[in-house]
C-alpha cells in the first residue's frame, strides 16, 4: 500500500528533532561549516570526522553517514566508513560531486558504488546521468545546460532516476529547477526552491547533509524522509528569498536566512507550501528488458492458473511479458490482462498486449505489440499515446526501418527457427538478423522456434534477447526453464 508522502512530513520532522541523530559528514572543505550548521538546524548533531584511522569506529556508532565527493582526498576514508556503516545498519547518503568530470572522480565514484550500499544518492542532473548511463556533461560541479531538467523532459529524468534506484537499491534525488525523487516503485517531481539557492556555495552539499539528518532520524522510511528533506530545503529557500528581498539584501544574507528557516519551518507550513507530483510512469522497452521476452500461452497450463504460472516465470527472471490470447472473449481477456498487468508491475517488468489496442489501454498495460499489417492503415502510436510501449513485428530491413519510423520502441524479428506457432514463417539467417539490427537504433528481440538448445546459434546476430512461448510455458517447471534461458541468453550476449 502506498503511503501518503505529505501526511508523513510531521512524523519525519519530529523524528529528527526528537531523536537528535548523530550524523557523520565526510564532506568537502569548501562547505564543511555550512553542512554542519544545516544538520544542527534540522535538529540533528553533526560530527565531521574524516580521518581514515577513525572513520570506521565513528561510522559504527552514528545514526547517519554522509559522503561528499567535492574534494577527493577522502575517498579511502569514505570506503572504510561506508563498509562500517553498512555493517552497523546505518543509512548512508552519497553526493557524487562532478563524478563524470575527471578520471579520478569516475574511478572514485565507481569504487564507492561497488563497495558501499547507499540509502540515498543525491546529485545534479549531470552527476546522476553519469551514474545511470555512463554519460552526462559537466560544468565543474554544476549541471551542464543540456542536462538540465525542464517541464518538457522531467518525466524522462523520472525514468532515469527510477532505473538507477532499481540498479543501486538507493533512493535517488536529482536536484534541479524541478527536483526528482525516485525509489524502485515510486517517482516524485517537486517544484519548490528559489533561483538564489544556486548563487551560494554548497546549497547542494547542504541538502545532502540534510538528507543525512532525515535518514538518520527515519532509517525505516528512507523515501518519505528524502522527499521531506528535499521539500524542506526548497520551501526554506523560498521563504529565505522572501525575507532577503524584504531587507533589500543579497546572497550572504540569503544563506543565513536559509539555514535559519530550516530550523523554523514547521510541518504544517511545509505541507501547505510543498508542490509535489507523483509520476505514474510505466515501464520502458530497453535492450536489457529484451533478454527473456515471455509470451503467454494457456494451452500448456495443465490445470494451473495463468496467474500462477506467469508469476513463477517473472520471479525466475523473465525480463518482458506479453499476453497473447487469440481464443478468449473480450471480457475474459480484459480480466486476465488486468491481472497480469499488476503482476508485471510487482516485478518491474514491461507488459504489453498482443494485437489488441483496446485491451492494452483498458487493462493498464505498458503498451501493445502489433504486426506490420496493423501499421498500414492506422497510426498505432497516435492511438496509444507517446508514453506507451509500441512493439512491431518485422522480418526484413525495410519492415524494421518502417516500424521504427512508425514509432516503435522495439522490434520483434523472426522467425529465426522453425516454429509451430507460425508454420508459414520463413527462418532468418544470422546475417539477415545482423543487417536488421544495424539498420535501426531501437532494441531488437528475436522470435520463432527458440529454445535453450539453439540460443547459442544466435551469437553475433546483433539481437538483444529472445522471445519465447513453448520454451517456457510448455515446460513442466516454467520457472526453472526461465532461469536456464536467461543464463543462456547472457552467455550468448557475452555477459
pLDDT in tens, 170-218: 999 999 999 999 999 999 999 999 999 999 999 999 999 999 999 999 9
Q: Which residues are catalytic?
A: 324, 393, 422
**Domain 288-492 coded CATH 3.20.20.70:** yes
Counting beta carbons within 10 angstroms of the beta carbon of residue 372, is it exposed (0 to 12), middle (13 to 18) or buried (19 or more)?
A: middle
Instruction: Name the CATH code of domain 5-279 (choices 3.40.1190.20, 3.90.1150.10, 3.40.50.1000, 3.40.50.150).
Output: 3.40.1190.20
Confirm or deny that 325 is annotated as ligand binding: yes
Confirm or deny that 8 is annotated as ligand binding: no
Please check the confidence at residue 389 and state whether its pLDDT lies above 60. Answer: yes
pLDDT at 373: 85
Please check the confidence at residue 235 and state whether its pLDDT lies above 90. Answer: yes
Please check the confidence at residue 52 and state whether its pLDDT lies above 80. Answer: yes
Confidence of residue 426 (pLDDT cuts 50, 70, 90): low
Percent of the chain with pLDDT over 90: 89
Confidence of residue 74 (pLDDT cuts 50, 70, 90): confident
The 10s digit of each residue's pLDDT in 113-160 is 999 999 999 999 999 999 998 875 555 555 566 788 999 999 999 999
Confirm or deny that 322 is annotated as ligand binding: yes
User: Do the domains at 5-279 and 288-492 have one common CATH topology?
Assistant: no
Confirm or deny that 470 is annotated as ligand binding: yes
Confirm or deny that 358 is annotated as ligand binding: no
Write out the three cell numbers for 280: 505514474
Q: 444 pairs with which residues across the strands?
A: 411
The stretch 408-421 carries a mean pLDDT of: 87
Cα-based distances in Å from 169 to 12, 193, 222, 285, 318: 21, 27, 11, 21, 20
Confirm or deny that 393 is annotated as ligand binding: yes
Based on C-alpha coordinates, what's the Rg of the chain? Answer: 25
For the chain, the structural domain boundaries read 5-279, 288-492
Please check the confidence at residue 414 and state whether its pLDDT lies above 60. Answer: yes
Confirm or deny that 354 is annotated as ligand binding: yes
Across the beta sheet with 171-175, the strand order is 45-47, 22-26, 64-68, 92-95, 120-124, 171-175, 179-182, 187-190, 276-279
The 10s digit of each residue's pLDDT in 85-121 is 999 999 999 999 999 999 999 999 999 999 999 999 9
pLDDT at 142: 55
Predicted structure pTM score: 0.88
Amino acid at each position: 500500500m502506498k503511503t501518503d508522502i505529505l501526511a508523513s512530513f510531521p512524523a519525519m520532522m519530529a523524528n529528527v528533532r526528537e531523536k537528535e541523530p548523530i550524523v557523520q559528514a565526510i564532506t568537502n572543505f569548501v562547505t564543511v561549516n555550512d553542512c554542519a550548521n544545516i544538520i544542527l538546524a534540522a535538529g540533528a548533531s553533526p560530527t565531521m570526522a574524516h580521518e581514515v584511522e577513525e572513520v570506521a569506529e565513528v561510522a559504527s556508532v552514528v545514526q547517519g553517514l554522509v559522503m561528499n565527493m567535492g574534494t577527493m582526498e577522502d575517498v579511502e576514508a569514505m570506503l572504510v566508513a561506508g563498509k562500517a556503516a553498512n555493517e552497523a545498519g546505518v543509512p548512508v547518503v552519497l553526493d557524487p560531486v562532478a563524478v563524470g568530470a575527471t578520471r579520478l572522480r569516475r574511478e572514485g565514484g565507481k569504487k564507492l558504488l561497488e563497495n558501499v550500499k547507499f540509502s540515498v544518492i543525491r546529485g545534479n542532473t549531470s552527476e546522476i546521468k553519469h551514474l545511470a548511463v555512463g554519460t552526462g556533461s559537466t560544468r565543474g560541479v554544476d549541471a551542464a545546460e543540456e542536462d538540465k531538467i525542464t517541464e518538457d523532459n522531467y518525466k524522462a529524468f523520472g525514468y532515469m532516476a527510477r532505473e538507477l534506484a532499481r540498479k543501486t537499491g538507493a533512493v535517488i534525488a536529482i536536484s534541479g529547477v524541478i527536483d526528482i525523487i525516485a525509489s524502485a516503485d515510486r517517482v516524485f517531481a517537486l517544484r519548490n526552491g528559489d533561483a538564489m539557492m544556486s548563487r551560494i556555495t554548497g546549497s547542494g552539499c547542504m541538502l545532502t547533509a540534510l538528507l543525512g539528518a532525515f535518514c538518520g532520524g527515519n532509517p525505516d522510511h528512507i523515501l518519505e524522509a528524502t522527499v521531506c528533506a528535499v521539500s524542506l530545503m526548497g520551501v526554506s529557500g523560498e521563504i529565505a528569498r522572501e525575507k532577503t528581498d524584504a531587507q533589500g539584501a543579497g546572497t550572504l544574507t540569503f544563506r543565513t536566512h536559509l539555514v535559519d528557516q530550516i530550523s523554523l519551518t514547521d510541518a504544517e507550513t511545509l505541507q501547505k507550501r510543498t508542490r509535489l507530483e507523483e509520476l505514474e510512469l510505466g515501464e520502458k522497452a530497453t535492450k536489457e528488458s529484451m533478454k527473456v521476452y515471455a509470451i503467454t500461452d494457456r494451452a500448456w497450463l495443465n490445470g494451473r492458473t495463468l496467474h500462477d504460472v506467469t508469476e513463477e516465470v517473472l520471479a525466475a527472471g523473465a525480463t518482458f511479458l506479453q499476453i497473447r490470447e487469440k481464443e478468449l472473449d473480450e471480457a475474459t481477456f480484459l480480466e486476465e490482462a488486468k491481472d497480469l498487468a499488476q503482476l508485471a508491475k510487482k516485478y518491474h517488468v514491461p507488459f504489453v498486449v498482443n494485437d489488441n489496442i483496446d485491451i492494452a489501454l483498458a487493462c493498464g498495460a505498458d503498451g501493445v505489440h502489433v504486426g506490420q499489417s496493423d501499421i498500414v492503415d492506422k497510426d498505432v502510436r497516435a492511438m496509444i499515446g507517446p508514453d506507451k510501449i509500441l512493439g512491431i513485428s518485422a522480418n526484413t530491413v525495410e519492415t524494421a526501418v518502417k516500424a521504427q519510423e512508425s514509432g516503435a520502441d522495439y522490434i520483434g524479428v523472426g522467425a529465426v527457427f522453425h516454429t509451430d506457432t507460425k508454420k508459414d514463417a520463413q527462418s532468418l539467417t544470422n546475417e539477415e538478423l545482423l543487417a536488421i539490427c544495424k539498420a535501426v537504433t531501437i532494441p531488437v528481440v528475436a522470435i520463432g522456434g527458440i529454445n535453450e538448445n539453439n540460443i547459442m546459434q544466435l551469437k553475433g546476430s546483433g539481437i538483444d534477447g529472445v522471445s519465447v512461448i513453448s520454451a517456457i510455458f510448455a515446460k513442466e517447471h516454467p520457472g526453472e526453464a526461465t532461469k536456464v534461458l536467461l543464463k543462456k541468453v547472457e552467455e550468448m550476449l557475452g555477459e
